[in-house]
Amino acid sequence: MAKLTVDLGERSYEIIIAADLLGKAGELIASRTGINKVLLVSNPLVFSLYGEKVAGSLRGNGFEVATALMPDGESYKNIKEAMKIIDRAVSCGIERSSLIVALGGGVVGDLAGLVAAIYQRGVRFVQIPTTLLAQVDSSVGGKVAVNHRRGKNLIGAFHQPALVVADTSTLTTLSPRDYLSGLGEVIKYGVAFDADLFSYLEKHHQQILKREETVLEHVILRCCGLKSMVVAKDEREDNVRISLNLGHTFGHALEKMGNYREYCHGEAVAMGTVAASLLSNHLGMLSDDELERILKLFDHLGLPTAFPENPAAIYRYMLHDKKIQAGKLRLVLPATIGSYTIRDDVSRAMIIRAMETARHMRF
Ligand code: NAD
Ligand code: GLY
């Protein structure tokens, strides 16, 4: 069992990573929160796979458990569905001293986390992430949100979990597409922060595709370690936390343009990371060799990289990004493999050129 602490003073919490953890969820949560009433939030698919195991473990450790299910999919990550969970919390008698537990991928975690942030001005919550993406990224760091029709995650809060329980065994049931989508965020960590992680991914890409447990545990632990470090330095994204968004300005625009149905988040981040890498290369930062290594890794892992038509339209969506400051797009770009830079001086023409190049790329 691997453990990490996200160091945030009185809001510090542990991330626990291991196989077969769900049956111990109740015990882990009881020893850390001391709360006895729980609203377990999930979706029908995840609940059918793991809900009873978690609920049973909670009940076995003295918790009174109510459940609330939201429909499956990014297009339901909205305020209307959050309100339904709040209605359920009210009718189940969830109190300020109760606990909300999110069991699922990033969509369930983000929405349940937002409910926890606003219900009765904030109740404690625990993340039990069941996708690779949620285990390496969304369950850690306290960003909770739902989408607005004008843009991604526009309604949100910072609300740190009390605990993150990442059971790597749950990844065996993920669809190939959702598994690959998580790898989009994993590669982002290597590109932005950690040349050793990037080399590890290059070397172990076959084991990663086979979902080998020891390799996955190493990768999840490293990604959580990197994210924890960034979040501990800048919890509310005043400065360095923006680095976690490498590839996301392109990615969020792609997600929005596809009405949150065409691309999964990690796929869009993968495509965005490719565009950011091409742009960096065009700007004279990332070398040709490094660019080739990045493109090859995406290809070896089978992630989508080619952009759809109409980069000018994607650019218009990019202008709704939350990272805009004084009307300027702030882009996180790889400077080398393992380091990033932030640029707010890149012309529209250069950004569109990078997307055009990504559109015509063939391996
Ligand atoms: P998701 O939550 O939609 O899960 C993907 C699919 O996998 C869903 O159909 C889900 O039901 C299914 N699923 C979940 N666990 C499963 C399992 N163990 N076995 C089988 N199927 C399973 O998508 P995601 O990729 O986990 O998360 C994407 C979301 O995360 C986006 O909304 C994104 O904005 C958000 N996100 C948030 C942060 C953050 O810091 N808060 C960071 C990155 C991404
Ligand atoms: N995924 C971006 C962040 O957590 O800041």
Q: Is the CB of 49 under 6 A from ligand 1?
A: yes
**CA 41, 39, 73: angle at the middle one, nearest 5?**
10
Among 173, 207, 242, residue at a domain's last position: 173
Type of residue found at 68: A
Structural domain for 117, as ranges: 2-173
Closest C-alpha residue for ligand 1 atom 4? 105
- Looking at residue 5, the DSSP 8-state letter turns out to be E
How does residue 179 score in pLDDT terms, banded at 50, 70 and 90? very high
Instruction: Identify the pLDDT of residue 354.
Output: 97
H/E segment holding residue 305 = none
Task: Over range 309-335, report the average pLDDT.
Answer: 87
First-residue to last-residue Cα distance in the chain: 39
Contacts of 277 (CB under 8 A, 6+ apart): 191, 286, 290, 291, 294, 295, 333, 334
What residue owns the CA closest to ligand 2's atom 2? 244
CA distance linking residue 66 with residue 89, whole number of Å: 8
Catalytic annotation, residues: 121, 143, 185, 227, 237, 241, 245, 248, 252, 265
Average pLDDT, the chain: 95
Protein residue closest via CA to atom 28 of ligand 1: 106
Whether the Cβ atoms of residue 151 and residue 256 lie closer than 8 Å to each other: yes
CATH code, domain with 251: 1.20.1090.10
Query: Are 156 and 58 in a shared domain?
Result: yes
Which ligand is closest in space to the CA of residue 170? 1
What integer is the mean pLDDT of 97-122? 98
Q: Is the pLDDT of residue 190 over 80?
A: yes
CA of 108 to the centre of ligand 2 (A): 16
Best residue among 8, 159, 193, 241 to mutate for probing ligand 2's pocket (most ligand atoms within 8 Å of CB) is: 241
Query: Does residue 207 have a pLDDT over 70?
Result: yes
Q: Are 175 and 26 in contact (CB under 8 A)?
A: no
For 220-239, letters b (16+ CB in 10 Å) and e give bbbbbbbbbebbeeebebee
Question: CA triplet 119, 82, 38: central angle to 5 degrees?
Answer: 55
Do 150 and 319 touch, CB atoms closer than 8 A?
no
How many residues are recorded in the chain?
363
User: Among 155, 173, 191, where does a domain finish?
Assistant: 173
Question: Is the domain of 201 the same as that of 337?
Answer: yes
H or E segment to which residue 155 belongs: strand 151-158
Q: What is the CATH number of the domain that holds 83?
A: 3.40.50.1970
pLDDT above 90 for 320: no
- Counting ligand 1 atoms within 8 A of each CB, the residue from 22, 110, 245, 252 with the most, and so the one to mutate, is 110
* 185 alpha carbon, closest ligand: 1
In a shared domain, residues 208 and 162: no
- 238 and 353: one domain? yes
Does ligand 2 have an atom closer than 6 angstroms to the CB of 244? yes
> Using an 8 Å Cβ cutoff, are 116 and 159 in contact?
yes
What is the 232 CA–ligand 2 centroid distance (Å)?
Answer: 12
Q: Do 221 and 153 have their domain in common?
A: no
Q: Give the count of domains, the chain.
A: 2
Q: Measured between alpha carbons, how far is 29 from 101 in angstroms, rounded to an integer?
A: 10
Its pTM stands at 0.96
Number of neighbours of residue 91 by Cβ within 10 angstroms: 10
Residue nearest to atom 3 of ligand 2 (CA): 244
Atom of ligand 1 nearest to the CA of 140: 40
- Element counts in the chain: helices (H) and strands (E): 15, 11
- Predicted pLDDT at 362: 64
Quick one: DSSP state of residue 277?
H
